Chain A
Amino acid sequence: MKVFVELSPFLFAYAGFALLSLIMDRHRRQLWPSIQGWQPRIAYALRSLGGLLLILSLWRCLHLWGVGIGLVAWFGVLTLVVFVLVMQITYFPKPVVGLAIAAMMISTVSVFI
């Protein structure tokens, strides 16, 4: 269980960036080809949720490691997560949406552990 707590900054960031990529036309076609496009309102909601998840990731970093180290760690987390996501979008785009949902759920639950 503890491992999920330590992973929560990564999982929140993963879900957040996945949503942010999903609102971009190019990546939506790769990640979720059956969707034709977003209504502006939904795109706005997705973007806000994505941003919120990134902030939650920051919050978990600060919570886990304190302000000084947590802030540094957050940048490291973002770097790793975006890199992994880019590789996935390029080579294995199918599971990204599912993984993002799972990441969101696990990290949300881990907050209450």
Chain B
Amino acid sequence: MKSFFRQSMAWLHTWVGLVFGWLLFFIFITGTAGFFDTEIDRWMQPELPMAQTVDVYDFADQARERLEVIAPGASRWQIWFPIDRNRPYPEIFWQGADSDPARGREQIDARTAEPLVARETGGGQLLYQMHWRLHYLPTRMAYWIVGVGTFLMLLGLITGIIVHKKIFADFFTFRPMKGQRSWLDAHNVVSVVTLPFQLMITYSGLVLMMFTYMPLVAAAYYGTSAEGRQQFISEAFPAREVLEAKGVAAPLVPFSHLIEQAVERWGEGELSYVEIHHPGDAAARIILGSNLAEGPLRSTEQLVFDGVSGDLIAEIPRLTSGAKASRDVLYGLHEGLFAGSVLRWLYFFSGLLGSVMVASGLILWAVKRRQRAEKQGNQNPFGLRLVERLNIGTIVGFPVAMAAYFWANRLLPTSFTARAEWEVHLMFLVWGVMLIHAATRPRLRAWIEQCWIAAFAFLLLPVLNALTSSRHLVQSLRTNDWVFAGFDLTMFALGIGFALMALVLITHNLAKREREQSVHNPSAASLEAL
């Protein structure tokens, strides 16, 4: 009975992992890049200055002056302060204004109080959002595809734990150069060491989208109407009431007194934003919010003031209910906005190992079947060939495409109006080319060639950066510009990694050929079966 259970779970693990493996790899890689989304944003806009800090009192007044000019009659203004790595520059946002555009967002230069101007780019945000929006697909469809993928990932993890017989005995075990055994070891080790991260990131991924995936749970109690849905949201997420504008003009109170109260309550550097509803109207409200990214609990404390009298009307705590707190923690853990530099790198590393886990699982599938096919007399089934080629074109080909995204960012002329879109188009075009290359070249040659392409694409990025911006590696190291230095060095490290992969593949292939020439050696080598 037990072994039947384990066998069924092994079957489930194998097929669940295979069918969605490439999508999961894509999600993992782009999501991992997302842990450095703002850093990538900044590398992709090298014209922008180093991260800034502002005096909250001064900037709130400057921002208000600017909003009064560019967004009069708005239903909502927001003023964001750059208090941590998540927001390098102060920002303003407006909505429902009488001006054109009625809704907008500007990053402000703290030195001049003027908007920052930089090249058009999708930046790290686009790369990050790709991991649940899949870029080209309609939103709903993308959410559901990613949802199915995430759920199958969860199933893969659980069945993987069930199937893995010797989690503790094999905890530290990796036996290289032993064919299928080595790939299984590699798959096991990276899965086990990152297991807490994997379970967290997968389950929280589902919970983040639970209103899309499980809407009927709420509908069962609140009905399917829009009002029912609204009632559920307001009960579940107690927030300030949203008032209608009265249509009677009334001056907005100065911010300084309100900001004083917030700073007194939360301390310096903890005030994250000021939000103004119906500025200039008698029904105006001003909300001050604390930092969302203080810890894993992703929630802000808010102070709500009357916008005309300046009286404190309500305080909304970060913690309102256990159920919401549980969701907020999962949300916070998934995004990792709270992570400082050490923890951010650990997140990034865990994400990379997660990608390796998916990749090694896919390779293991192919290696196993390639060995069996060879034993059964040089069969070459289509399914196996398809998986092998998709593996090459995705596991190495997609990273090449990401490098192409960065190359496009620097090579497309800044005057080209559609450059932001074309950065992405080029990324997917390059991926397509890599897939075609993988499909048409001999298998091992395709692996080696793509590894070399990836190696050079990443290794030369710091050079490209030096040629196309004034913030080259020496400069950034000298000025402690860790965003640029970090990006360049990471690209360099990735390039070295791919070059090593290519070299390992080559030496291994040579060794195998020599062995075959001297003695007939039936034990298949690990990489030959790639």
Query: A-side interface residues toward B, CB under 8 Å?
Result: 6, 17, 20-21, 24, 26-27, 65-66, 68-69, 72-73, 75-80, 82-83, 85-87, 89-90
Contact = CB atoms under 8 A, between A and B. Distances in A.
B446 interface: no
B346 A77 contact: yes
A27 B333 CA distance: 34
A17 B350 CA distance: 18
Interface of B: 169, 171-176, 189-190, 192-194, 196-197, 295-297, 333, 338-340, 342-343, 346-347, 349-350, 353
22 contacts: A24-B172, A27-B172, A66-B295, A68-B338, A69-B296, A72-B333, A72-B343, A75-B196, A75-B197, A76-B343, A76-B349, A79-B196, A79-B197, A79-B350, A82-B192, A82-B193, A83-B193, A83-B349, A85-B172, A89-B172, A90-B175, A90-B176
A69 B293 CA distance: 11
A89 B174 CA distance: 8
Contact of A79 (B169, B172, B173, B194): B194
B171 A82 contact: yes
Contact of A72 (B173, B192, B296): B296
Given A72-B339, A79-B196, 11 more contacts: A17-B172, A20-B171, A24-B169, A26-B173, A27-B173, A69-B295, A76-B197, A76-B350, A83-B349, A86-B173, A86-B189
Contacts of A78: 193, 196
B291 to A, nearest CB: 13
A27 B173 CA distance: 8
B76 to A, nearest CB: 31
B236 to A, nearest CB: 23
A75 B296 CA distance: 14
A80 B190 contact: no
Contacts of A72: 296, 333, 339, 343
B340 to A, nearest CB: 7
A82 B172 contact: yes
B429 to A, nearest CB: 34
B343 A65 contact: yes
Nearest to B172: A21
A99 to B, nearest CB: 15
B347 A65 contact: no
B474 to A, nearest CB: 24
A68 B342 contact: no
Contacts of A82: 171-172, 192-193
Contacts of A69: 295-296, 338-340, 343
Contacts of A27: 172-173
A77 B194 CA distance: 10
Contacts of A66: 295
A24 B172 CA distance: 10
The 4 A-B residue pairs with the shortest CB-CB distance, nearest first, are A76-B346, A68-B295, A82-B193, A75-B196
